[in-house]
């Protein structure tokens, strides 16, 4: 019987490699909302032909990150004030539900401490990208611990835009230490079985992160 550890190495198609590279650039804010996506320029920059660029951009359009303008081509889809507000609201509802499920079922939440430590370390060295990545890991783990498949599926659909909004917001004068410090109390409350307090902390966490004007992210990208 063949050793499963020695299964054939899978090579990612070029289309997917290009899509992953562009997707990361969009959700980290390096490609800003409203930025044009020109096949020729991207092909030259990434040193590939135009065909995988065209295919990758189509994948990103399917993700909702890219849009087509009649007679003007493709661009990173701008964020509207309504989108920023609604995404924030849905994320809050989803994660409050997750915390309630975790708290009532007394799930072990020890896995949440690793992203907490990563956020703290990233904040101390001023690494915004690393903090955003650790923050995403924390919240994704929170959703996974709730053991609700549909909730995880719906939250996953929001993730790309959530990451993009966080990156754009954190480009502004946001204290990374404050973001990192908001998470450990949630874990401690869950470990103590204080469901109401955990829900309160999650809600306050989102309220604190929403003290920005959504227009400060959306405006200028339309």
- Residue 7 lies inside a defined structural domain of this protein: no
In the prediction, which pLDDT does 1 show? 46
Q: What is the CATH number of the domain that holds 211?
A: 1.20.120.530
- Residue 56 lies inside a defined structural domain of this protein: yes
Query: Which segments in the chain show pLDDT lower than 70?
Result: 1-11, 170-173, 206-222
In the prediction, which pLDDT does 221 show? 47
In the prediction, which pLDDT does 45 show? 93
In the prediction, which pLDDT does 133 show? 87
Note whether 89 and 58 are same-domain residues.
no
- Residue 126 lies inside a defined structural domain of this protein: yes
76 forms bridges with which residues in the sheet? Answer: 66
Instruction: Give the residue among 194, 183, 186 at the shortest CA–CA distance from 104.
Output: 194
Note whether 27 and 127 are same-domain residues.
no
Q: What is the pTM of this model?
A: 0.77
Residue where a domain terminates, one of 76, 103, 127: 76
Q: Are 115 and 123 in contact (CB under 8 A)?
A: no
Extract the runs of DSSP E, i.e. beta strands, from the chain: 36-37, 66-69, 73-76
In tens, the pLDDT along 91-145 reads 889 999 999 999 999 899 999 999 999 999 999 999 888 888 898 899 999 999 9
Note whether 86 and 181 are same-domain residues.
yes
Domain interval for residue 23: 12-76
């Amino acid at each position: 019987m063949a050793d499963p550890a020695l299964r054939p190495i899978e090579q990612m198609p070029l289309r997917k490699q290009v899509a992953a590279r562009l997707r990361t650039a969009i959700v980290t804010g390096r490609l800003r909302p409203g930025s044009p996506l020109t096949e020729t320029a991207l092909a030259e920059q990434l040193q590939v032909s135009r065909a995988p660029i065209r295919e990758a951009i189509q994948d990103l359009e399917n993700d909702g990150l890219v849009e087509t303008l009649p007679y003007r081509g493709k661009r990173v889809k701008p964020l509207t004030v309504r989108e920023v507000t609604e995404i924030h609201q849905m994320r809050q509802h989803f994660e409050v539900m997750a915390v309630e499920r975790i708290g009532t079922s007394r799930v072990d939440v020890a896995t949440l401490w690793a992203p907490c430590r990563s956020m703290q370390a990233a904040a101390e060295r001023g690494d915004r990208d690393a903090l955003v990545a650790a923050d995403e890991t924390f919240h994704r783990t929170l959703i996974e611990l709730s053991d609700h498949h549909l909730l995880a599926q719906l939250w996953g659909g929001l993730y790309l835009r959530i990451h993009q909004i966080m990156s754009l917001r954190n480009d502004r004068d946001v204290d990374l230490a404050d973001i990192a410090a908001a998470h450990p109390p949630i874990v401690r409350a869950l470990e103590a079985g204080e469901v109401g307090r955990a829900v309160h902390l999650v809600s306050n966490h989102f309220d604190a992160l929403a003290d920005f004007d959504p227009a400060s992210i959306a405006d200028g990208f339309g």
